[in-house]
Chain A
Amino acid sequence: MGIGCEQVWVDISDYIDDDLDPNQRAALDQHFVECRRCTALLNGTRNVIGLYRDPRVLAPPDGFHERLYRRLEENTTSSRRSFLAWALTAAAAVPVGLALFSVRRLMLPTHDKGTPATERDVRQVPETVAISQDQDDKVFHLAGCSHLHGKPTFLSVKEAIREGYTPCIYCIGKAQPKKNS
């Protein structure tokens, strides 16, 4: 006795994939000879699978390749830019660091906290320094110094000295004890 349509519907996908044992396959073969409905199902399913395998179906939209190429270019360029920016920053940081180091060693040993700096002393300090609008300590700082409290005002070193400001011992250098003459 042959198999029924319901069994064919269960096995038809494995039949298409040739994934049935020979007895099962023979049973389905026999059923297809006798059943017009299941034969239509088999042919229709194969037809649909064949259509979807066509490379024209689900192909990327027009311009996909070009848009991808542009994104690839942008990514590559931005990577180069990032690297360049990093390299320039690193290169710029070296002389700044050296300058600050030099300021600490060379500039301030000659005067103490209470002694107004002279133009000669601050030759290594950047042209612009910061003072606090909220403190009355008469100290000028490098921008970003942790001892600069309150709202900063920026002015030239010459101006700061002229107004009686002294350099911060933390961001610019430690003051040496004042020598008694």
Chain B
Amino acid sequence: MEGALIDRILSGHKELFMDLIRPHQRTVYATVFSLLANKEDAEDVAQDALLKALARLNQFRKESTFGTWLIQIAINEARMRNRRQWRIPMLSLTDDKDKDHAKAYVPKDFEDWREIPSTALERVEVRDALVKALGSLARHYREAFVLRDIHELSISETSAILGISPGAVKSRLRRARLMLRDILAPGLAQDGRLGWAFKEVRKPWE
């Protein structure tokens, strides 16, 4: 189905490209966000990546899925943007990869943990809080989390895309999951409003 659509686009029906990428827009946007942690830049770069995908569609070899191929383009595009932009280095306690990997992570103990139901995601402030929480992690944790837990790529696919060992993927993923859980676990307040964790992104490990 997707392959046939690609063949038709390559034969000149460029207008079908929008149909081809519609199911992958979130994949590309989330991937770019995982590197840039900035919504405005993420839209711009995600669109650049999709246009680049159209320009290079004849290079898609169908050895991987189209979605995985798009992710690779999105990552390259976001990395190029990061290189082009002058950025003041941001210091983060989660950014010391060696230090992080060397010691065990101690998750925060929330006695009053409450599950956040998926219905809460209807509220834009809850969705924004999740995005903000993800954006507060160091980039290498965001990348591993987005590829594994949002795009549901395998460890080996994530390892290949990021150019790191499967062990490093697992290690980063574990940290990312536990840190996000620590930020978000307090959940919603009893009256249904956002709990303290949503009002501002905290880093319990600091």
A interface residues, Cβ below 8 angstroms from B? 6, 9-10, 12-14, 16-17, 19, 37, 40-41, 43-45, 47-61, 64-65, 67-69, 71-72, 75-76
Contact = CB atoms under 8 A, between A and B. Distances in A.
A12 to B, nearest CB: 7
B107 interface: yes
Given A9-B178, A56-B121, A49 B149 contact: yes
Given A59-B26, A64-B43, A69 B18 contact: yes
The winner among A40, A51, A58, A67 for most chain B CB atoms within 10 A is: A58
A18 to B, nearest CB: 12
Contact of A16 (B50, B177, B184): B177
B118 interface: yes
Nearest to A37: B109
A47 B115 contact: yes
A44 B110 contact: yes
B46 A60 contact: yes
B50 A51 contact: no
A68 B21 CA distance: 11
Interface of B: 14, 17-18, 21-22, 25-26, 29-30, 33, 39, 43, 46-47, 50-51, 54, 104-107, 109-111, 113, 115-116, 118, 121-122, 127, 130-131, 134, 145-146, 149-150, 152, 155, 170, 173-174, 177-178, 180-181, 184-185
A35 to B, nearest CB: 11
A13 B181 contact: no
A171 B33 CA distance: 59
A68 B181 CA distance: 34
The winner among A49, A67, A69, A75 for most chain B CB atoms within 10 A is: A49
B26 A44 contact: no
Given A13-B177, A43-B115, A44-B113, 9 more contacts: A9-B107, A48-B181, A52-B145, A52-B150, A52-B180, A57-B131, A65-B25, A71-B47, A71-B51
B127 A52 contact: no
A105 to B, nearest CB: 44
Contact of B174 (A13, A43, A51): A13
B81 to A, nearest CB: 16
A22 B50 CA distance: 43
Nearest to B150: A52
A9 B22 contact: no
A48 B39 CA distance: 21
B104 A45 contact: no
A82 B122 CA distance: 46
Nearest to B31: A58
Nearest to B112: A40
A28 to B, nearest CB: 14
Contact of A58 (B29, B50, B104, B110): B29
Contacts of A50: 118
B32 to A, nearest CB: 10
A151 to B, nearest CB: 42
Nearest to A56: B121
30 contacts: A13-B170, A13-B178, A14-B174, A37-B109, A40-B110, A40-B111, A44-B185, A47-B116, A48-B184, A48-B185, A49-B177, A50-B118, A51-B116, A51-B130, A53-B150, A56-B121, A56-B127, A57-B121, A57-B127, A58-B26, A58-B29, A58-B33, A58-B131, A58-B146, A60-B43, A65-B18, A65-B25, A67-B47, A68-B18, A71-B47
